[in-house]
Amino acid sequence: MSFSISSDFVAEQNRKAEGALAEDYAALGRQLDRRGIDVEAMTARAAQFAVAVPTWGVGTGGTRFARFPGPGEPRNVFDKLEDCGVIHALTRVTPNVSPHFPWDKVSDVSAFRQAAASHDLGFDAVNSNTFQDQKDQKLSYKFGSLSHADKAVRAQAIEHNLECIDIGRKLGSTALTVWIADGSNFAGQSSLNAAFDRYMEAMREVYDALPKDWAVFIEHKLYEPAFYSTVISDWGSSFMAASELGPKAKCLVDLGHHAPSTNIEQIVARLIRAQKLAGFHFNDSKYGDDDLDSGSVDPFRLFLVFNELVDAELRSARGFAPAYMIDQSHNVTDPIESLMQSAIEIARAYVQASLVDRKALEAAQGENDALGAHRIVKQAFITDVSPILAEARRRKGGAIDPIGVYRASFYRREKTRERPASGVAAAGIV
């Protein structure tokens, strides 16, 4: 019998924190009331918010230089689901996982689905992988996959994506995320347009294989592993590809996949307007695609992204149904703790953005009151909504203090005992 954190344990831990939370919640309620905001309505919004956890995120990540495995790491997909289950049980904001193939490939897909259900988890978008060679793979992706100069390699990459769709159907997923590492390291190495044309031809086959209610999410990335050019380098290329493919193709925004100082919230606004926003891979960064924990470097940027998302939600923007996923690499922390912290920070940005007085903002914008408009947005950002997030968790049976409860449970210590053969979990950094 494997160790799990019982709901009794969570309830017992919560009892120690309930008094202080009730006081803080009431105080915040009075503060918001003076601003004409109903704290209960905000708590209800927090309670319905969800962000998916990537199965690869519960293993320790790595850098180009090394990977330092942590104790008690998941050894297989079932261990990964168990860890993802803990994240959801304590935070109550991560009801879905985003699996990755072939890292999560199992012989019995229904066992995979049942295991997820036993941890109260469903499935978000499935991720294909044509950015590395697998054991027994016939042709190499060293020089590309869906845009490779050799048709046979492209065919192999297409086939893999079709298999991902097939597995995803069995899991109950409705979207495929495609990120390719295709690109070049040298000027002249690759024809910029011919590579894009080959990608489009290959993606057409993937697109045509999508079930009726499915979507394909195109994830762009400016550089790395290719350093001179990438085939789907930016949101322009992504948008061009998604537009040509059709309505089921949309653009996925990974917060780390842009040039430094890019105004990501503006890209988000544009994609919403074009009905092409697929969703997100949330993470944070200081320099490049750092894949650090969401909200750990620039929480204001995360808030501004959500400011656009909440605006679109509240005005019922046409075609707006973004998928929220975390995509991070945890190298120096316990991945479960990082994912809980990140999910909470993402939910925080959502609730903060929900506090923006949009009527007053529109009026200030109309009057060219630059500072007045900025103050309205900023006031929402500086409001500490922690009591709302904690109360939403408590009401849903989660932990008031997820990381505190997790540490008190000694889950990691128990898993270290149960999972002696560690270090085989794939580290995904896409």
Closest CB to Mn ion among 283 and 383? 283
**166 vs 12: CA distance, rounded Å:** 43
Candidate segments 114-122, 224-232, 281-289, 382-390, binder of Mn ion by CB under 5 A: 281-289
**308 vs 353: CA distance, rounded Å:** 8
Least spacing, CB of residue 369 vs Mn ion, in Å = 38
Candidate segments 145-153, 274-282, 333-341, 413-421, binder of Mn ion by CB under 5 A: 274-282
Number of neighbours of residue 305 by Cβ within 10 angstroms: 24
Closest CB to Mn ion among 92 and 281? 281
Site string for Mn ion, 243-272 (x = CB under 5 A): -----------x------------------
First to last CA, the chain: 34
Candidate segments 83-91, 166-174, 275-283, 418-426, binder of Mn ion by CB under 5 A: 275-283
Closest CB to Mn ion among 183 and 387? 183
Which residues does 240 contact at the CB level (< 8 Å), separation at least 6? none
Site string for Mn ion, 200-239 (x = CB under 5 A): ----------------------------------------
Candidate segments 20-28, 72-80, 276-284, 311-319, binder of Mn ion by CB under 5 A: 276-284
Least spacing, CB of residue 90 vs Mn ion, in Å = 24
* Closest alpha carbon to 165 in 180, 177, 179, 176: 176
Please write down the HEC assignment for all residues of 218-275: EECCCCCCCCCEECCCCHHHHHHHHHHHCCCEEEEEECCCCCCCCCHHHHHHHHHHCC
Least spacing, CB of residue 255 vs Mn ion, in Å = 9
Closest CB to Mn ion among 311 and 327? 327
DSSP designation for 316: T
Least spacing, CB of residue 279 vs Mn ion, in Å = 11
- Parallel/antiparallel/unpaired status of strands 96-98 and 122-123: parallel
Closest CB to Mn ion among 278 and 310? 278
| Residue 177, beta-bridge partner list | 127, 217
Q: At what angle do helices 299-314 and 335-354 cross, to 10 degrees?
A: 50
Burial (0-12, 13-18, 19+ Cβ within 10 Å), 135: exposed
Closest CB to Mn ion among 57 and 387? 57
Closest CB to Mn ion among 210 and 255? 255
Burial 190-220 (b: 16+ CB within 10 A, else e): beeeebbebbbebbebbbeebeeebbbbbbb
Least spacing, CB of residue 106 vs Mn ion, in Å = 23
Candidate segments 46-54, 113-121, 124-132, 279-287, binder of Mn ion by CB under 5 A: 279-287
**394 vs 430: CA distance, rounded Å:** 33
Which of the residues 28 through 57 are near Mn ion (CB under 5 A)?
Answer: none
Least spacing, CB of residue 252 vs Mn ion, in Å = 7
Residues constituting the chain: 430
Closest CB to Mn ion among 83 and 254? 254
Closest CB to Mn ion among 47 and 430? 430
Closest CB to Mn ion among 327 and 345? 327
Determine if residue 405 is left, alpha or beta; phi over 0 gives left, psi from -120 to 50 gives alpha, anything else beta: alpha
* Closest alpha carbon to 257 in 209, 225, 216: 225
Least spacing, CB of residue 295 vs Mn ion, in Å = 17
Which of the residues 296 through 355 are near Mn ion (CB under 5 A)?
Answer: 327
Structure tokens given for 39: 């704290």
Least spacing, CB of residue 111 vs Mn ion, in Å = 27
- Parallel/antiparallel/unpaired status of strands 122-123 and 126-127: unpaired
Closest CB to Mn ion among 104 and 327? 327
Candidate segments 121-129, 238-246, 280-288, 294-302, binder of Mn ion by CB under 5 A: 280-288
Least spacing, CB of residue 199 vs Mn ion, in Å = 18
Burial (0-12, 13-18, 19+ Cβ within 10 Å), 388: buried
SS3 state at 52 = strand
Least spacing, CB of residue 329 vs Mn ion, in Å = 10
Least spacing, CB of residue 77 vs Mn ion, in Å = 19
281 counts as binding Mn ion under rule CB under 5 A? yes
Contacts with Mn ion by CB under 5 A: the residue count is: 4
**Residue 23 near residue 403 (C-beta atoms within 8 A):** no
Which of the residues 63 through 122 are near Mn ion (CB under 5 A)?
Answer: none
Please give the residue ranges that form the binding site for Mn ion (CB under 5 A). 254, 281, 327, 430
